[in-house]
Amino acid sequence: MTLKLWGRASSGNVQKALWALDELGLAYEHIEAGGAHGIVNDARYRAMNPNGLVPTLEEDGFVLWESNAILRYLAHAHGGPLALPEAPRARALIDQWLDWQATTFTPAMRDAFLQLVRVAPDKRDAGVIEASRAASERCAALLDQHLADTAHVAGEHFSIADIAVGLAANRWFQLPLEREERPNIRRWLGTLAQRPAASAVLSLPLT
């Protein structure tokens, strides 16, 4: 079996795949791509991923892009600590939180991230930052309330939903802005950080 993952490790979406691969203990080649690393506009890469985005996973000739699709594939194909539950409703809850991360939580904080991490201080738009902060706080409040009654995002057991939402929540707490304290999220992130496969990606700085 040959596994390759393209994408810069500083990308939150790439970090999902890195975490999942390490959870599974799989041997793989990681090729830094995107941003200063280039590659994503090369013809060979575009033939695999016409979006020119990261991550892209290749396993024995099978190519897949979209980070949450990669999480689902690895869970289906390799099981192990990522094995999906048999019960349809339990699986649906995992899908629910994967979609929430991709369509709600991460989009809410995107502008704050770009303004505070990628834009020079003298060119930042305070209004854009505040709107993003407020939207992200609503997401964080929802997640914190949910985690008051459950050990993990989709139930009592670790799942790929914890990877996707955990990385988003960790990124939110790293942003240099004021926010409400969320004790249940902090407790949950502390639990995730104890997983050997999580420690490397959760400690990466924002870039």
pLDDT in 10s for each residue of the chain, 207 residues: 799 999 999 999 999 999 999 999 999 999 999 999 999 999 999 999 999 999 999 999 999 999 999 999 999 999 999 999 999 999 999 999 999 999 999 999 999 999 999 999 999 999 999 999 999 999 999 999 999 999 999 999 999 999 999 999 999 999 999 999 999 999 999 999 999 999 889 999 888
What tokens does 83 get?
């094995």
Q: What does the alpha-carbon distance between residue 173 and residue 175 come to, in Å, rounded to a whole number?
A: 6
The predicted model scores a pTM of: 0.97
Ordered by where they begin, the domains of the chain are 1-80 (3.40.30.10), 86-199 (1.20.1050.10)
Distance between CA atoms of 91 and 154, rounded to whole angstroms?
9
Answer yes or no: are the C-beta atoms of 20 and 82 closer than 8 Å: yes
Q: How many CB atoms lie under 10 A from the CB of residue 89?
A: 7
